[in-house]
Chain A
Amino acid sequence: MNLTAEIQKVAKRYPDSKSAVLPALRLAQEEHGWLSPDAVREVGAALELTPAYCMAVASFYDMFNLEPTGRHMIEVCTNVCCGLVNAQAVLEAFERELGVTPGETTADGEITLRAVECLGGCSTPTIVAVDHRYRQSVTPEQVAAIVEELRGA
């Protein structure tokens, strides 16, 4: 993929190309795995914005990773609706299974575990986003299988 060309193609869809900063950062992150200083510079160059500006935007949003993350991402909702029906036990099961605390990545660089705010799936708690796809009604008992699935992928 030619990242610069992709970004400029997206930018043309907006009345003002600056509006493409978020989609551009998303594309760069998909390409590089995270938003390294080089990736942010690439975004800036494609949109004729300074790297500092792009970094200021990137650092505002939770979904942009300014540090390297694992090859897979596990995000557990721990807001109140999931919390009322035991999200904490699901999160702790992942912590035990992966040997990391929320915000950390496994030593082999494979899986990052995160706690996140309400994902909008409150009728099927606990919601766990695995590589940005929702798993519904996740229980602590299902945690080992999810991790195994990712390790095998």
Chain B
Amino acid sequence: MAPETLVLAGAEEAPLRDLTSYQAVGGYAQLAKARALAPQEVITLLIESNLRGRGGAFFPTGRKASFIPTPDKIAKPVYITVNADESEPGTFKDREIMLRVPHRLVEGCLIAAHAIQSRFVFIYIRGEYSTEYEVLQAAVDEARAAGLLADVEMLVHRGAGAYICGEETALLESLEGKRGQPRSKPPFPAIEGLYASPTLINNVETITTIPVVLEVGPEEFSKIGVPPDSTGTRVFCLSGNVVRPGAYERPHGITVRELIYDIGGGIADRRELKAVMVGGSSFPVMTPDEVDTKLDATSLGQKGLFIGSGVVTAIDDRACIVQFALRVAQFYMHESCGKCTPCRVGTRWLVQLLRAFEHGTASEDDLSLLLDVCDRIIGKCLCVLGDSAAMPVASCVTKFRAEFDAHLEHGGCPFGADSSLDRLFAPVDQHHLAPVAHEAGI
């Protein structure tokens, strides 16, 4: 048992699904402790711990909670929405949390509800998670039957297959029974969220860390990891070409090298590391010479990288980076909600340009055009989905320029069938989409 296990504590060997076994490891004791405090005191504890959002944006959790108006300031109800729409490629930590410690998530929700004086918690879980939904629903029902919910209503709401619904305002739209298209901000959800009421939105791992903060105390918690900004642990998602992929909870500050080589057993099949997808597919890729970087927001930030949802995906030397960039771009093209132009059109341009490199129809100019398209997307969209497509693609071009040049010289993919990602099918090709101007030669 790793001593640093906090969020997954008690579930290292086997899932901790039922109420009795969760209570046997001290479950719901922190809820009782929180309810004995004034709501504002709980928010203060969260602020002192410097717990930050584990969904990708790393926003300070306590501060976010403090933005919610107190009942004396507003006549409307206030809501909590838990983002369990985990869909970022490479991310599976929320699934592990829901399957292994569902009651700790429920406890976190109830503590948060007390902190912002909310009586309605929605957990928006991605539609594909069937078993996870059942496990979580069973935990909610058990907690309700045991009277732990008190006057709080808790509803597990199932999505229906849309990556964009992980974006907080798209999630709210979806929860209101609409197409999951992001809203323009402001107003921010803390002021006008669900049903135009103040709404606190937190990721599953963030909420599940709340009982931990209360248990170890904010002062101790804020010493774990890399203070002052990256406190506590993360359930890191290790995948790709490693010997032992898995969800590993470790404090912030472990290096990518330690995670891949010491914990993950190194690169599988005696291959060499070529690149690392860090944070998720939405961010710039890491090169092998950067693997000693610590996994905390500051260390990664200094290299233009992001901690995202705690993803570390090892990519070995069999992968063609152009194919990687193409497959990433195809994902975002598929998931673009279509509401704003730079994203809707830009993701298609990226796919077509990258395909041209693969097929040998690209010219030297297309390299600068590719970066130009990225530039016309980044920071110009309604939500971050556009950036999420452009940042990894741009990083592949700048960090692996030689590979793009090799495609130009070779008149197509120089790796061919030797690449691990060769001919990888993308769901976007299951639909019949009209070509945009570039492909039609206009």
Query: Which residues of A come within 8 Å of B, CB atoms?
Result: 13-16, 18-23, 25-26, 56-57, 60-64, 78-81, 83-88, 91, 102-103, 114-125, 129, 132-134
Contact = CB atoms under 8 A, between A and B. Distances in A.
A80 B425 contact: no
Given A14-B155, A125-B239, A19 B247 contact: no
A61 B174 CA distance: 10
A122 B237 contact: yes
Contact of A62 (B92, B162, B421): B162
Given A63-B127, A80-B89, 13 more contacts: A26-B158, A61-B159, A62-B160, A64-B161, A80-B281, A80-B424, A83-B424, A86-B420, A117-B163, A120-B95, A120-B128, A122-B92, A123-B246
B120 interface: yes
A20 to B, nearest CB: 7
A142 B143 CA distance: 40
A53 to B, nearest CB: 9
Contact of A88 (B120, B424, B430): B424
B334 A84 contact: no
Given A61-B180, A81-B90, A132 B327 contact: no
A20 B177 contact: yes
B357 interface: no
B87 A18 contact: no
A57 B425 CA distance: 27
Contact of B87 (A61, A102, A118, A134): A118
Contact of B89 (A21, A62, A79, A132): A79
B241 A85 contact: yes
A83 B239 CA distance: 11
Contacts of A88: 421-425
B430 A115 contact: yes
B414 interface: no
A81 B247 contact: no
A57 B177 contact: yes
Nearest to A103: B430
| Interface residues on chain B, size class | 35 or more
Interface string B322-339: 001001100100110100
B48 interface: no
A132 B313 contact: no
B90 A102 contact: no
15 contacts: A19-B175, A26-B127, A57-B177, A60-B180, A61-B159, A62-B161, A78-B424, A79-B327, A80-B327, A84-B319, A88-B422, A88-B424, A117-B335, A117-B427, A121-B92
Interface of B: 77, 86-92, 94-95, 120, 126-131, 155, 157-163, 174-181, 195, 237-241, 245-247, 277, 281, 313, 315-316, 319, 324, 327-328, 331, 334-335, 337, 420-427, 429-430
Contact of A118 (B88, B238, B429): B88
Give the most central of B181, B315, B316, B425: most A CB within 10 Å: B425
Given A80-B328, A84-B421, A123-B246, A117 B86 contact: no
A123 B239 contact: yes
Given A88-B423, A118-B88, A83 B327 contact: yes
A117 B87 contact: yes
A69 to B, nearest CB: 13
A117 B331 contact: yes
B127 A83 contact: no
Contacts of B420: 83-86
Contacts of A84: 240-241, 313, 315-316, 319, 420-421
B319 to A, nearest CB: 6
Nearest to A81: B239
Contacts of A63: 127-128, 160-161
A129 B128 contact: yes
Give the most central of A19, A22, A85, A123: most B CB within 10 Å: A123
Nearest to B281: A80
A122 B174 CA distance: 26
B427 A120 contact: no
B269 to A, nearest CB: 10
B386 to A, nearest CB: 17
Which 7 A-B residue pairs are closest in the complex by CB-CB distance?
A62-B161, A21-B177, A63-B161, A61-B160, A122-B239, A103-B430, A18-B177
